Amino acid sequence: MNNSKSTLQRKRVNILKILVTGGAGFIGSHTVVELLDRGDQVVIVDDLSNSHLKVVDRIEKITGKRPDFFLANICDFSAMEKVFKQYDFDFVIHFAGSKAVGESVEKPLLYYRNNLESTWVLIELMAKYNVKSIIFSSSATVYGQPDAVPIIETSPYSPTNPYGETKMINELFLKDVTAAYPDISVICLRYFNPIGAHESGIIGEDPQGIPNNLMPFITQVAIGIREELFVFGNNFDTHDGTGVRDYIHVVDLAKGHLAAVDYLKANPDASFLIINLGTGRGYSVLDLVKTFSEVTGIEIPYRITERRAGDIATCYADVSLAKDLLGWEAKFDLKRMCKDSWRWQSQNPKGYCGNCSQKE
Ligand code: UD1
């Protein structure tokens, strides 16, 4: 066998078969692009409740590869079992879930069911079909009001709403699972504030209705969908009185998942880990508005309003564990995040398809 042939064969042996739940969503789709770009095989399961089938076409446009796609809710055990039977997965990356804080307060039944039953189904099937590794999408929201910043992973749990509570309970559940099933390893990645978009401008964040989060609101003001930004309070104990957060480029975040997959592959006995994914830097609402205007040349009219219930002054990550353990750190700065968010919004003024059906 000549050299190039044996290299090719070795590479094929290393291809991972990865189930990505919620792979049509904002963070999921960017992660799928990175996985496909490096040669892994991806199977997406998504119910499109907060995403679009068009995402799959666009992933193919960027990578030249089409991930297999199944339309199903992760809580549907028999639908999921069919997928597990069909593929011999090496990994699961579990993004699927409901994520609007306000809605979670109004609909706790929906949030507890969607966000907890889904993980339970996945673990049942992983145990049955001998899949040993899962990366779980957690959130800095589990810290609530932090005692100190930067926030380290050992800070106490203190979520302030059902959404955050479901993230916390999932983490506790997964920890118990690893204790009872030593073969299964879990990494919970606690995301700080993901913004930005793929540099192609063809995939990005596409919130339904009025955006809850800051960056999509800013880009919708910039494109003219909304008149002005409401800045929720300017009397916090921060450098300019507005809330400070750790904004992280979604592509950096996606690459953090690849680093976590590689870590579990190299350390199958890892058992249970919780790791922050952020930049370690905090910027205020007005810092973000100013930087966005600088890089796009578009003024963002804003008005200071009351604080939003539950908002905290300052939240940014201690990122040393991600660096030490995964060898990962965020590369893109705030300017790049703003540029990429704007490219996505300006190329897709109404998101993936405006008023069309999500299944189109
Ligand atoms: C929010 C969620 C958090 C979730 C995270 C995911 C709440 C209370 N928290 O976090 O659970 O994990 O999103 O990305 O919803 N802001 C404005 N005007 C706006 C929107 C936001 O001034 O129209 C301010 C907020 O007060 C905050 C900052 O911008 O200081 C960031 O807000 P947001 O993008 O909603 O993120 P978080 O509140 O950090």
Residue with tokens 């999500």: 358
The span from the CA of 348 to the CA of 238, in Å, is 34
Task: Name the percent of the chain lying above pLDDT 90.
Answer: 92
The span from the CA of 357 to the CA of 332, in Å, is 34
Whether residue 159 lies inside any domain: the answer is: yes
Helices (H), ranges, 201-322: 214-223, 250-266, 285-296, 320-321
Whether residue 359 lies inside any domain: the answer is: no
At 71, the pLDDT band (50, 70, 90 cuts) reads: very high
Beta strands in the chain (DSSP E): 17-21, 41-46, 68-71, 91-94, 133-139, 185-191, 193-195, 229-232, 244-245, 247-249, 272-277, 283-284, 302-305, 314-315
Listed range (63-67, 257-261, 332-336, 350-354) with the worst mean pLDDT: 350-354
Q: Is 330 in the pocket of ligand 1 (CB under 6 A)?
A: no
Read off the pLDDT of each residue in 199-213 and give the average, rounded to a whole number. 95
Read off the pLDDT of each residue in 136-151 and give the average, rounded to a whole number. 96
Q: Which domain holds residue 225?
A: 16-347
Cα end-to-end span (Å), the chain = 47
Atom of ligand 1 nearest to the CA of 100: 15
Nearest to 331 by CA among 261, 295, 280, 285: 280
Give 252-291 pLDDT, tens digit per residue.
999 999 999 999 999 999 999 999 999 999 999 999 999 9
Higher pLDDT, 310 or 300: 300
The span from the CA of 183 to the CA of 154, in Å, is 24
Whether residue 80 lies inside any domain: the answer is: yes
Higher pLDDT, 133 or 209: 133
Whether residue 222 lies inside any domain: the answer is: yes
pLDDT for 4 beyond 90 = no
Q: Is 348 in the pocket of ligand 1 (CB under 6 A)?
A: no
Collapsed DSSP state (helix, strand, coil) of residue 71: strand
Q: How far is C-alpha 248 from the geometric centre of its chain's CA atoms?
A: 10
Whether residue 100 lies inside any domain: the answer is: yes
The span from the CA of 30 to the CA of 9, in Å, is 28
Q: Is 235 in the pocket of ligand 1 (CB under 6 A)?
A: no
At 356, the pLDDT band (50, 70, 90 cuts) reads: low
Q: Is 308 in the pocket of ligand 1 (CB under 6 A)?
A: yes
Beta-strand relationship, 247-249 and 272-277: unpaired
Which positions are catalytic? 163
At 355, the pLDDT band (50, 70, 90 cuts) reads: low
Q: Is 207 in the pocket of ligand 1 (CB under 6 A)?
A: no
| 38, 11 Cβ separation under 8 angstroms | no
Whether residue 8 lies inside any domain: the answer is: no
Task: Name the percent of the chain lying above pLDDT 70.
Answer: 94
Higher pLDDT, 1 or 197: 197
pLDDT for 322 beyond 80 = yes
pTM: 0.95
Q: Is 167 in the pocket of ligand 1 (CB under 6 A)?
A: no
Q: How many domains does the chain have?
A: 1
Whether residue 6 lies inside any domain: the answer is: no
Residue nearest to atom 29 of ligand 1 (CA): 214
- CA of 310 from ligand 1 middle (Å) equals 10
- CA of 232 from ligand 1 middle (Å) equals 9
Please state, in angstroms and as integers, the Cα–Cα distance from residue 182 to each residue in 135, 169, 176, 260, following that order: 16, 20, 10, 18
Q: Is 29 in the pocket of ligand 1 (CB under 6 A)?
A: no
Helices and strands in the chain, H and E counts: 13, 14
Atom of ligand 1 nearest to the CA of 305: 22
Give 7-26 pLDDT, tens digit per residue.
444 444 578 999 999 999 99
- CA of 248 from ligand 1 middle (Å) equals 13
Whether residue 3 lies inside any domain: the answer is: no
Testing ligand 1's pocket by substitution, the residue of 213, 229, 316 carrying the most ligand atoms inside 8 A of its CB is 213
Q: Which two tokens stand for residue 172?
A: 């506790």
Q: By 3-state DSSP, what share of the chain in percent is helix, strand and coil, each rounded to 5?
A: 45, 15, 40
At 29, the pLDDT band (50, 70, 90 cuts) reads: very high
Give 230-244 pLDDT, tens digit per residue.
999 999 999 999 999
- CA of 293 from ligand 1 middle (Å) equals 20
Please report, for the domain that includes residue 55, its CATH number: 3.40.50.720
Atom of ligand 1 nearest to the CA of 215: 34
Note if the bond before 268 is cis, omega within 30 degrees.
no
